[in-house]
Amino acid sequence: MKTLIVGGGGFIGAHLLEEILRNHRNWQVTVIDINSEKISHLLLDKNVKFFEIDIVRNSIEDHVSDCDVMLPLAAIASPAVYVTDPLRVFELDFEANLKIIKWAVKYQKRVIFPSTSEVYGMCADEEFLEDESNCVTGPVSKQRWIYSCSKQMLDRVIYAHGLKNNLDYTLFRPFNWIGPKLDDISNPESGSSRVVTQFLSNIIHGKDIKLVDGGNQIRSFTDIADAIAALIKIILNENNCATRQIFNIGNPHNQTSIKNLAQEIVELAKKYDQLKSLAEKTKIIEIDPNEYYGKGYQDVSCRIPSIKKAETVLQWTPTVSLRESLRKIMDDLFKKNASSR
Ligand code: NAD
Ligand code: UGA
Q: What is the pLDDT along the chain (341 residues), one digit of tens a residue?
A: 999 999 999 999 999 999 999 999 999 999 999 999 999 999 999 999 999 999 999 999 999 999 999 999 999 999 999 999 999 999 999 999 999 999 999 999 999 999 999 999 999 999 999 999 999 999 999 999 999 999 999 999 999 999 999 999 999 999 999 999 999 898 878 888 999 999 999 999 999 999 999 999 999 999 999 999 999 999 999 999 999 999 999 999 999 999 999 999 999 999 999 999 999 999 999 999 999 999 999 999 999 999 999 999 999 999 999 999 999 999 999 874 444 44
Instruction: Please check whether residue 294 lies inside any domain of the structure.
Output: no
Could you give the number of structural domains in the chain? 1
Instruction: Please check whether residue 262 lies inside any domain of the structure.
Output: no
Instruction: Please check whether residue 92 lies inside any domain of the structure.
Output: yes
- Long-range contacts, stretch 77-80, CB < 8 angstroms, 24+ apart: 77/116, 77/147, 77/194, 78/183, 78/191, 78/192, 78/193, 78/194, 79/144, 79/147, 79/191, 79/194, 79/293, 79/297, 80/190, 80/191, 80/192, 80/293
* Predicted TM-score (pTM) of this structure: 0.97
- CATH number, domain with residue 123: 3.40.50.720
How many A from CA of 105 to the centre of ligand 1? 22
Strands 69-72 and 2-6, sheet pairing = parallel
Instruction: Please check whether residue 285 lies inside any domain of the structure.
Output: no
Instruction: Please check whether residue 187 lies inside any domain of the structure.
Output: no
Instruction: Please check whether residue 116 lies inside any domain of the structure.
Output: yes
Structural domain including 34 reads 2-182+222-252+305-318
Instruction: Please check whether residue 63 lies inside any domain of the structure.
Output: yes
Residue ranges lining ligand 2, Cβ < 6 Å: 77, 79, 116-118, 147, 174-176, 190, 194-195, 198, 210-212, 215, 217, 219, 258, 299-300
